[in-house]
Chains A and B, each alone.
Chain A
C-alpha cells in the first residue's frame, strides 16, 4: 500500500499570523492557483443552482 511521500514536519508551538502586505509590481508569480480556486467557485455555482 504505497502512498506518495509526505515530508516529515517539524512542528513548533505558537501561532503565526498570515498578514497581507503591499502590492508588489512587476514581479514574477510563483504558482498557479487559478485551478483549485476556479474549480471551487464552479462547484459552488453548480451547487447553488441545484
Chain B
C-alpha cells in the first residue's frame, strides 16, 4: 500500500485558498414562484413507511463507511471540480477512527492535481492526514455497474459498519439518461436500474445515497433505490459545477459518527445552496433529502392511484387539461428536453383528488428541501413526456426494470400516444381538409430533438398549393436525409419500442427471409407472410410493407419512400404505386390504381382511425371499435409494446375521437388577412385554446443565404384576439448588438400573470461554445444575463451557469442557411463584446437593419398542446409587408 499522505498535504495547501473562499455560512435564499424552501427538517415519519435499515446507536458509537464514487470526467479535466471537492473533504481533517472514507477516482483524462493519476482508476482512503492510495485498478468504464458494485464490495470488505453512505459524483441525466459520464469511455451512462442493481448485488443497505450530480432527484430514482437505502440526497435541477460543499458536514461526522442523517442532510443541502449562490449566482439550484422508507411504503401506492386517475382523465378525452398542467409545471433543465417536471407541482396543477393525495405524500417524504432562484420545486421530479417523445420507450423499459407501478406506466404511455396522435393529425388533417400538411413530415419533425421546431411547419407555409406539385417535389432526392439523423433516430426509437422487436423472425441490419411474421430493419424481408422491411425490400409478401425501399408483388404491400408495385392494395409514400387495385400514392404517382389516397379520405372518425393505422400499421391484425366498425392492418398489441390489443385499440379510438372533438390547428389554413388596416392571423377561440406559444421568428437574407436570428415570444393581438402580423423591426440586442435568441422557458410561477422568461443566446466565450442564459423577469422588472452554460461539441449542456468576469470576450453566433434552406454553419455576428467591469450586460430591443444588399424576413411560430409547431407565411420586412411568395423574391431562388 503506497502512502500518499505527505503529497496530499501539499495538495491541501495548494488548494486551501480555493476552499477558503467557500467557507459557508447559511445564507438567505430567494425563490420565485411557490417557495419550497424548508425552514427546518421534518423529523416525523408517516404511518405506513417502511422501517429504516440503518439503526443509529448514538453517542458516537456508530461506525461509518462513506463511499465516494468519483467519475472525474470533464468536470475535473476542464475545471478541477473533483480536486476541489476532495480538497473540501481534506480540509475537514476527519480523524475520527469510527469514520472511514473511501474514494474511487477515474473516468478522467487529466486530473488537475499531482496526486491522482490520469487515465486510471484508483482507490483511496481519506484520513486526517490526507489521501492514501490503496490500489490502482485496470482501466474500465466507471459507468459500468460492475465497477460500482466492485467498489461497494471493496468498501464493505474493509470492515463492517453501522452506517453506510454512498455518494455518486459526476454528471447526471435524470431518470431518462441516468448517472455518470466517463471521459475515457464516453459511450453510455449507468441508468438508474443499473445503479439499483449494483446496490442490490452488493448486499449493503445504505443510510443514504447521494448524487452529487445533476437532475437525479426523481421519483424513479427514489423508487429504484428505495429497497436498498433509507434516504436519497439529490437535486431536481442541474447542479452548478462546484457541486456539494463537503467540509462542514464532514466535520459534523467527525465530531460524532452518530450525527443524525437528517442533520447531515440539512447541512449538505444548506451548504450546497450557499456555495452555489456564491459561485454560480445565476443558476437555479435545488437539493432535497427524501425518506425512501416513506417513498417505498406510501408514495408508490399513491402513485398507482394517481396513474389510474390520470388514465381515466385521458380516456374521458380530457387531454387538454393534462397537457396544460404538464406544460405549466415546473420543468427542470428544459433546454435538455429531458421532460422532468416537479411531481408535486404537476399534481397540484392537475387538481385532481388523487393528485393532491400524491402531492401530500411526496411532501411528507421529502424531509428537507432548498431551492434557489427557482420556485415550485418541491424536491422530487418525475418523467412526463411533453417536448420530446423519443425517451418514452426507454423509460417504459426502465419502469419495468425498477418495478414502477403498471398503472403509472400505462398513463404515461397513453399520454404519449395521444400527444403523438395529435402531432400526426396535425400534419394529416390538412391533407383531409385544407390542403396543407404532411404526415411523414410531422412524424419526423415532431419526434425530433432540436430547438422546438418541427417540419409540421410545412403545412402552414404550403397552404393552397396542389398536392401533386408540393408533395411531388418534396419526394425528390433523399427525403430522409433532409430530416437529419436525429429525426430518423427519434422516429426509429419511438417506433421500435412501439412495435416491439422481440417477435420471432425479426432482423436488425440483416435479412429476415421466409418467416411468418418477419420484419427486417435495414435489410430484406422476403417471402414473408406479414413481412415488413425498413430501409430495404419486402418482396413477395402477403402483407408486406417497406420503408425506404421496395415492396413488390405483395397483396397488401405498402412502401414508404419507395415503390410498391404489383400489389392488390398497395400504397406508396414518396414513390410510385403501380398496377395496384386500390393503390394510393402519397407525394408521388399512383399509376393504374383505382383510387388516389388523398381524394378518398375525408375528415371523419373512421378515416382518422385509418390515418393512425396507416402511420403505425403495416403489420397484421384488426381492431373493432365500439361502433362495430372493424379496422384492419394494424397490430395494435405490438404497436403499444404489449399484448393488450383492446387497450391499444381503445387508445387509438380515443385519439381519433379526441382529435375530431378538437380539430388540430393544421386543419385550418394559416392565412394572413387584412383587417381594419392591419395584417392579422385570425383563428377560432377553440384553436387559440390549443396554442401554448407564439414566437416571432426573424431571418436576414444576405443574397447568398439566411441568417437565423431565432425566436422571441413577442406578439401583439388586436381587440378581436387576432395575431397582428406586422413586425416593427425591433429585435433583441446585447450591448447594442443584435443577437440570435432562442426560448428555454416561459413561466408564470405564481399564477399572477407575471412571467419569468428564460432564453439563450449562442456565443463563444473566450473561444468556447456557450449559451448565454438570459432572463426577463416581469416580477422584478429586471432583464439580465444570468451566466454562460457550456455546450460540448456533441451538444451536451454543461452543469449550471458559469459567471463571467470582466475582460471575458463574448462573440455572438448565429445559424446560417443556404438559399434552399439547408443549414450551413454558424457565423459570428457583429463585433466581439468584452464583459464589462461593472458586470452589467445590457439587454434591450432596438430597431435593427440588415445592411446593404440584405433584407429581413419574419414569420410567427405557433406551438400547440401536442408540441407541434406551425409557421405563418413568411413576410418580407419593410415595404408592402406582403407574404414572401407574393413579392418579387427572385433572390430566394
Contacts and interface: CB of A to CB of B under 8 A. Distances in A.
Nearest to A12: B844
B793 A28 contact: yes
Contacts of A44: 884-885, 889, 892-893
Most buried by A among B455, B819, B850, B885: B885
Contacts of B880: none
For this complex, into which size category does the number of interface residues on chain B fall? 35 or more
Contacts of B733: 16
Interface in B349-364: none
B841 interface: no
A9 B714 contact: yes
21 contacts: A4-B715, A7-B712, A11-B845, A16-B738, A16-B847, A16-B848, A18-B849, A20-B827, A25-B825, A27-B826, A28-B793, A33-B697, A33-B706, A34-B453, A36-B861, A37-B817, A39-B457, A40-B892, A44-B889, A47-B885, A49-B469
Interface in A9-50: 9-47, 49-50
Contacts of A34: 453, 455, 817, 821-823
Interface of B: 445, 448, 450-458, 460-466, 469-470, 473-474, 685, 688-689, 691-694, 697, 699-700, 702, 706-717, 721, 723, 730-731, 733, 736-738, 740, 742, 746, 748, 755, 757, 760, 762, 764, 769, 771, 776, 778, 783, 791-795, 811, 813-817, 819-823, 825-831, 843-851, 854, 856-857, 859, 861-862, 869, 871, 873-874, 883-886, 889, 892-893
A11 B793 contact: no
Contacts of B762: 27, 30
A11 to B, nearest CB: 5
Contacts of A49: 469
Given A29-B815, A39-B458, A43-B465, 13 more contacts: A3-B717, A5-B748, A6-B713, A14-B736, A15-B846, A30-B815, A36-B457, A36-B699, A39-B460, A40-B892, A43-B883, A46-B469, A50-B465
A1 B844 CA distance: 29
Contacts of B730: 9, 11
A17 to B, nearest CB: 5
B451 A40 contact: no
Contact of B688 (A3, A18, A26, A43): A3
A18 B714 contact: no
Interface of A: 1-47, 49-50
A17 B527 CA distance: 63
Contacts of A36: 453, 457, 461, 697, 699, 859, 861, 871, 874
B39 to A, nearest CB: 32
A3 to B, nearest CB: 5
B437 to A, nearest CB: 11
A26 to B, nearest CB: 6
B458 to A, nearest CB: 5
Given A17-B848, A18-B738, A27-B826, A7 B755 contact: yes
Contacts of A35: 445, 453-458, 869, 871
A42 B713 contact: no
A32 B483 CA distance: 11
B746 to A, nearest CB: 6
A31 B466 CA distance: 30
A33 to B, nearest CB: 4
Contacts of B848: 15-18
Contact of B823 (A1, A23, A33): A33
Contact of B830 (A5, A11, A19): A19
A16 B828 CA distance: 15
A42 B466 CA distance: 11
Nearest to B737: A16
A19 B691 CA distance: 34
Given A26-B793, A37-B817, A20 B702 contact: yes
A46 B783 contact: no
A23 B827 contact: yes
Nearest to B719: A1
A21 B830 contact: yes
B404 to A, nearest CB: 33
Contacts of B457: 35-36, 38-39
Given A39-B874, A44-B889, A47-B886, A5 B708 contact: no
Top 6 nearest A-B pairs (CB, nearest first) are A39-B461, A21-B828, A35-B457, A46-B465, A37-B821, A40-B874
